[in-house]
Amino acid sequence: MARTHVHTHGKSHSIRPTSKTAPSWLKTSPDQVSSLVVKMSKDGMGPSEIGIKLRDEHGVPLAKPVTGKKLTKILAENNIRAEMPEDLDRLVRKAAGLQKHLKAHNSDHRNVRSLELVEAKIHRLAQYYKSTGKIPATWKYTAVIAQLE
């Protein structure tokens, strides 16, 4: 699959397990996985970090085949839900970091373009999440690029 805003294909990626069922060698029960997910979330980890930690430290390849539910569903059932989806939140933080950098280094034209691309991604994702109801329809991200010019 092609990368956004680039003419090349992204080649580097991890390979997801192909099996839709829990592996036979896995000794962790669904209740243990759910409790680990809740505990890690209360420690301040996001869903992607929880998935990586489950895979690397606890030997759980994917949470859904083991528990029958996605990580975000487990968190929602335990009333642990972020106000904003994780990917949108990370993009907003990235844009804030770029804005801070550009205030100190206002002649950095390459990162002005980078900020434009990040803000375009934010607007696309926000439009999708508004249509699915994951963020309120009144949520708005104000672009800083217009203020810089």
State the Rg of the chain over Cα.
19
Tell me the domain boundaries of the chain: 30-77, 86-148
For residue 2, pLDDT beyond 70: no
Q: Tell me: the pLDDT tens digits for 16-41? A: 888 888 888 999 999 999 999 999 99
**DSSP characters for 82-138?**
-SS-HHHHHHHHHHHHHHHHHHH-TT-HHHHHHHHHHHHHHHHHHHHHHHHTSS-TT
HSE (side-chain half, CA atoms, 13 Å) at 140: 4
CA-CA distance, 73 to 33, in Å (whole number)? 13
Instruction: In whole angstroms, give the CA distance from residue 60 to residue 51.
Output: 8
Residue 91: pLDDT above 80? yes
Residues 103, 108: Cα–Cα separation, whole Å: 10
Q: How far apart are CA 52 and CA 116, in angstroms?
A: 30
Q: How far is CA 37 from the centre of its chain?
A: 16
Q: How many CA atoms lie within 13 A of 123 on its CB side?
A: 10
Q: 54-75: per-residue pLDDT in tens?
A: 999 999 999 999 999 999 999 9
Q: What is the pLDDT of residues 6-16, one digit of tens each?
A: 888 877 777 88
CATH class of 86-148: mainly alpha
User: What's the confidence (pLDDT) of residue 147?
Assistant: 57
CA 50 from chain centre, in angstroms, equals 11
